[in-house]
Chain A
Amino acid sequence: GNSVTQMEGPVTLSEEAFLTINCTYTATGYPSLFWYVQYPGEGLQLLLKATKADDKGSNKGFEATYRKETTSFHLEKGSVQVSDSAVYFCALSAGANSKLTFGKGITLSVRP
């Protein structure tokens, strides 16, 4: 079946540091890939997505590139802010349905 593997957390960074959160996937066919973010006490918000190989999703300074050869969708940001502190989930959907398969999530804490 489909699966998503995220790097272990939590991650603590200083403000303006570079962020990379690794995500790899296993899926049949050609999945769509997503990064969702969850702020404390809230539901999930879509951060960015990519629907085919070599697509780059970007939003709010975050980027991720769909790499089919390495089955990866790593999230990056050049300079994190305190307001980026949240839980980040990598996810995929595949086939003719909307079901999302999520990674375990990683908590990011950014210190001033």
Chain B
Amino acid sequence: KAGVTQTPRYLIKTRGQQVTLSCSPISGHRSVSWYQQTPGQGLQFLFEYFSETQRNKGNFPGRFSGRQFSNSRSEMNVSTLELGDSALYLCASSFLVVGGAGDEQFFGPGTRLTVL
């Protein structure tokens, strides 16, 4: 089975621009979560989607948004980029049978975003 794929792997943008990152989950997985990883803040939860609906959201400003398509693929968008948005953005998918807790999440390799 193919793993979680994320595109692009690397991205360089300038302040004020917007960016869209894509994530394709493992086949059969309907839950997709996004995390931001930075040296200072570590790994922080952005949001989770299940069956095209946002199930959970972290403490990030409204500039960060996401969506999920009917094939479970997900995108996240960051508008009006700031220098502090430079990070590794990780996507994770899971099968999600019994309500979430305990379900293993499989992570993609991440998209490295650099904001200049």
Interface size on A, residues (CB 8 A): 26
Contact of B100 with A105 in the complex, beta carbons under 8 Å: no
Contact of B110 with A94 in the complex, beta carbons under 8 Å: no
Given A49-B102, A97-B55, A97-B101, verify A43-B107 contact (CB < 8 Å).
Answer: yes
Given A44-B107, A99-B33, A99-B45, verify A93-B90 contact (CB < 8 Å).
Answer: no
Count of inter-chain pairs, beta carbons less than 8 A:
72
Complex Cα distance, B45 from A93, in Å, reads: 11
Digitize B11-38: 1 where CB-to-A-CB distance is under 8 Å, 0 elsewhere.
0000000000000000000010101000
Contacts of B43 in A (CB 8 A): 89, 91, 100, 102, 105
Contact of A102 with B48 in the complex, beta carbons under 8 Å: no
Beta-carbon contacts under 8 Å, A27-86 to B: 31-32, 36, 41-46, 49, 51
Complex Cα distance, B94 from A46, in Å, reads: 12
Taking the complex as formed, is A95 at the interface, i.e. its CB lies under 8 A from any CB of chain B? Answer: yes
Contacts of B107 in A (CB 8 A): 36, 43-45
Beta-carbon contacts under 8 Å, B60-116 to A: 90, 92, 94, 96, 99-110
Contact of B101 with A31 in the complex, beta carbons under 8 Å: yes
